């Protein structure tokens, strides 16, 4: 961890609050845990990183062993730590070797082996802690966790307590990349959860995004999954609507506080959607008209975020780049959805950074390459029409100026980044 990514004062304050728990009554301990959880909820990314260290987790483990912190309160604290870590996309390493993680793993295995007196609530809590806090999972434990937490997610009540419980379970499941021998069962059950939500709207925005993340991570594990996700569950339509609804709740005009600044929950969920959309564009082998609408929603988020939330706008550009490079994404839909317009606008901005220029140019390189491919006559007609649209866009925005600017930056960027930009890009624009 970099020195400027560490907040020793927050770390020390958190350790002191942990120490205060030891001499508390049960009622006092519960109240203090609630106060600590509110403290965690208010932390920015840098502050949150600072409390994920061995000293704190070793202290929690020791307090549990010495019965100075009961398991129920420890779980309340650990689940909220993990929830914030996952929501705010904080990466930590080394927890796998920590004694607290070893204890959680053993408790999950022991609880699962019980036949008649299994405590399903305790098992679910432990599974969430494990999936939230660890980064490298045992296949055996993943199988246990997936089966256990999918039971939680089938709860249909719409009260706030149940919604929060389901949100926790789905958010933790979204961290799983592979479920072992229960892969097909888990995919089917998560599909049913999404279908139920589409009919009844019983999930929070974060829970629904997490359910989709679980499915999208499985795109490469079976051909039929593409069909289910794209044409049966309508990923493009659903992701587009979610982005639009969440965007209405974000104050895009407010600048973030800087790296790791406090963010609205809706903005964090948008960031998670953008990550999943990128993964979808990178993995999916199907495309339909709803995905053209998704491109338009990405363009709206990009334009709203580019002044004050550059991390979000960068994610949008990266999604466009992936869609342009992957052959399943239609070039014409990138044009109709406004992605090319947005990229041209970005290139003309005076504050554009080098990496953003690089990504924008890569998009044009990819589009140029795909528009020059040899296909059958019908596709050739469509390709020629798309070329003409691209040319018109360039001309509207100042064709000659943009081409000159390309010549000026391509050589420089080739010296700075490993991704080499070919001067062949100009063949497309000049000889269209």
Q: One digit per residue, pLDDT tens: the chain, 432 residues?
A: 343 455 678 889 999 999 999 888 888 999 999 999 999 999 988 899 889 888 899 999 999 999 999 999 999 999 999 999 999 988 877 788 889 999 999 999 999 999 778 899 999 999 999 999 987 788 889 989 999 999 887 877 778 888 999 999 999 999 887 777 788 889 999 999 999 999 999 999 999 999 999 999 988 766 689 999 999 999 999 999 999 999 999 999 887 644 444 568 999 999 999 999 999 999 888 889 899 899 999 999 999 999 899 899 999 999 999 998 887 778 888 888 999 888 888 877 776 666 777 788 788 778 777 776 645 444 667 667 776 776 676 666 554 555 555 555 555 555 555 554 454 444 444 433
DSSP letter string, 133-182: H-SS--HHHHHHHHHHHHHHHT----SHHHHHHHHHHHHHHTT-S--GGG
Domain range annotation of the chain? 218-328, 330-432
Tokens 């980064």 locate to: 135
Cα(110)–Cα(270) distance, integer angstroms = 38
User: 220-224 — which CB contacts under 8 Å span 24+ positions?
Assistant: 220/283, 221/178, 221/183, 222/184, 222/187, 223/285
Q: Which of 243, 332, 335 is nearest to 280 (CA)?
A: 243
| Burial profile 106-115: b = 16 or more Cβ within 10 angstroms, e = fewer | ebbeebbeee
- What are the angstrom distances between the C-alpha of 270 and each of 14, 234, 263, 315? 29, 18, 11, 10
d(CA 80, CA 77): 5
Indicate the SS3 state at residue 258: coil
């Amino acid at each position: 961890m970099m020195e400027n990514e560490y907040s020793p004062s927050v770390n020390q304050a958190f350790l002191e609050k942990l120490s205060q728990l030891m001499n508390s009554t049960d009622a006092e301990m519960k109240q203090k845990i609630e106060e600590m959880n509110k403290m965690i909820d208010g932390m920015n990314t840098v502050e949150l990183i600072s409390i994920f260290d061995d000293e704190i987790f070793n202290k929690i483990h020791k307090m549990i062993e010495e019965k100075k912190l009961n398991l129920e309160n420890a779980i309340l604290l650990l689940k909220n730590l993990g929830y914030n870590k996952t929501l705010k996309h904080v990466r930590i390493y080394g927890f796998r070797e920590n004694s607290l993680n070893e204890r959680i793993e053993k408790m999950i295995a022991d609880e699962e082996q019980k036949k008649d007196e299994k405590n399903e609530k305790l098992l679910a809590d432990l599974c969430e802690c494990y999936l939230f806090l660890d980064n490298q999972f045992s296949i055996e434990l993943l199988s246990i966790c997936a089966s256990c937490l999918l039971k939680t997610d089938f709860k249909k009540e719409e009260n706030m307590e149940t919604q929060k419980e389901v949100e926790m379970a789905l958010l933790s499941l979204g961290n799983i990349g592979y479920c072992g021998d229960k892969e097909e069962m888990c995919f089917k059950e998560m599909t049913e959860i999404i279908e139920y939500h589409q009919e009844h709207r019983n999930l929070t925005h974060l829970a629904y995004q997490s359910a989709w993340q679980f499915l999208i991570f499985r795109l490469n594990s079976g051909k039929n999954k593409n069909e289910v996700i794209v044409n049966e569950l309508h990923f493009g339509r659903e992701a587009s609507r979610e982005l639009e609804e969440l965007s209405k709740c974000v104050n895009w005009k407010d600048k973030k506080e800087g790296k790791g600044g406090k963010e609205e929950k809706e903005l964090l969920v948008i960031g998670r959607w953008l990550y999943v959309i990128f993964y979808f564009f990178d993995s999916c082998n199907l495309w339909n008209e709803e995905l053209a609408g998704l491109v338009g929603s990405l363009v709206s988020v990009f334009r709203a975020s580019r002044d004050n939330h550059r991390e979000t706008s960068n994610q949008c550009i990266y999604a466009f780049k992936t869609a342009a490079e992957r052959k399943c994404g239609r070039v014409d839909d990138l044009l109709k959805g406004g992605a090319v317009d947005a990229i041209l606008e970005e290139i003309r901005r005076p504050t554009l950074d080098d990496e953003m220029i690089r990504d924008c140019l890569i998009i044009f390189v990819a589009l140029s390459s795909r528009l020059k491919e040899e296909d059958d006559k019908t596709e050739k007609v469509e390709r020629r029409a798309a070329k003409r649209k691209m040319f018109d866009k360039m001309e509207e925005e100042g064709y000659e100026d943009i081409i000159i600017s390309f010549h000026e930056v391509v050589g420089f960027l080739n010296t700075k980044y490993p991704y080499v930009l070919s001067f062949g890009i100009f063949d497309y624009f000049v000889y269209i």
